[in-house]
Amino acid sequence: MGGLAVLRQMHRHEFGVLMFHSFSEREQANVEAICTHIASNFEPISLSEMVERLERGTKLPGNALTITVDDGYKNFLLHAHSIFRRHRIPVTVFPVTGFVDGRIWLWPDRIEFGLQHTAKTSLRVEMPGKSPLELALASPEQKQRAMSILSEMLKEVPNPQRLDFLEGFGRLCGVDIPLAPPKHRAAMTWQDLRAVASEGVEIGCHTDSHPILSQLTAPELDREIRGAKELLDKRLGFHVRHFCYPNGRDIDIGELAIASVREAGFASAVTCSWGFNTAAAEPLRIRRIPFDSTINFQYGVELLAGLHM
């Protein structure tokens, strides 16, 4: 632990942005332990304060850190919000507007549902421009691998092609995928978002349908970025200032998407590029540290100190 303290000291002039997604009741003790460690060893501040200090050139507190939560699952409200609030750790939630609106549920969850509920032991997947895939589904491990393969494949195709595949995925699996997600994958409502915002949670924007932005045309980008922001502003009653790129790797973003985020008026945008940020960080390309409510506590402590980057 002494070595980790030295590492934290080495990184004290940088700032960390943790990336969470989903939470469950059985993981609350782990989240509690992580928050206790953060409160004792770091200086939690809001994403807005971080960005404002970057813009003004004002020095950040030593070992500054903030929390972000992607997608807008209701399980944040049920199993994590009170823990972060009790430890006075600021959080920014990035909901997908179509998900909150009840028009969609997140496409990786639809794939997971189809694979989990199919009676098939294998699946042949054919997509234009791609070699046919033969996916084994005889065990949970094989289904998890199939989930990863399909998700990565769908990140690399034009958006209409991805949507067409998802539309027919239930039939391919022989599964009736319902219109609404299962309870553990449900979204926060607009009322939920307004409630947590009134308690200090910052609300950002994570597009309307969670597409891969580098695969979109300019009109599609405008709808997913500016359109989602306008809906959030209208339904929440205030202007959202922060954006989160879906999937968030450089290859998934593209310069056109960054320009769209800037034109929409966002003050910052977070990526999925790993690492700490310095005072020279670009506000529309903020790095994050991938975290999860299931993360091994010791590994999480090491990651926060600067190991495993």
**Those residues with Cβ within 8 angstroms of residue 171's Cβ, 6 or more apart along the chain or in another chain:** none
Tens digit of each residue's pLDDT (9 = 90 or more) over 23-78: 999 999 999 999 999 999 999 999 999 999 999 999 999 999 999 999 999 999 99
Do 280 and 17 contact (CB within 8 A), yes or no? no
> What are the angstrom distances between the C-alpha of 142 and each of 112, 136, 307?
12, 6, 31
Percent of the chain topping pLDDT 70: 99
Give, for 203, the enclosing helix (H) or strand (E).
strand 202-203
Whole-angstrom Cα distance, residue 134 to residue 146? 9
Tell which CATH architecture fits domain 2-103+186-305: Alpha-Beta Barrel (3.20)
Q: Residue 298, Cβ neighbours under 10 Å: how many?
A: 10
Tens digit of each residue's pLDDT (9 = 90 or more) over 221-271: 999 999 999 999 999 999 999 999 999 999 999 999 999 999 999 999 999
Q: Work out the mean pLDDT of the chain and round it to a whole number.
A: 95
Task: Give the model's confidence band at 274: pLDDT under 50 very low, under 70 low, under 90 confident, else very high.
Answer: very high
Task: Give the model's confidence band at 1: pLDDT under 50 very low, under 70 low, under 90 confident, else very high.
Answer: low
* pLDDT confidence of residue 291: 93
Task: Give the model's confidence band at 130: pLDDT under 50 very low, under 70 low, under 90 confident, else very high.
Answer: confident
Domain boundaries, the chain: 2-103+186-305, 107-173
Structure tokens at 14: 């940088």
Decide if pLDDT at 309 tops 80.
no
Whole-angstrom Cα distance, residue 12 to residue 181? 42
pTM for the full model? 0.95
Whole-angstrom Cα distance, residue 284 to residue 121? 44
Do 18 and 67 contact (CB within 8 A), yes or no? yes
Q: What are phi and psi of 134, to 5 degrees?
A: -110, 110
Q: Which of 228, 221, 220 is nearest to 72 (CA)?
A: 228
* pLDDT confidence of residue 290: 93
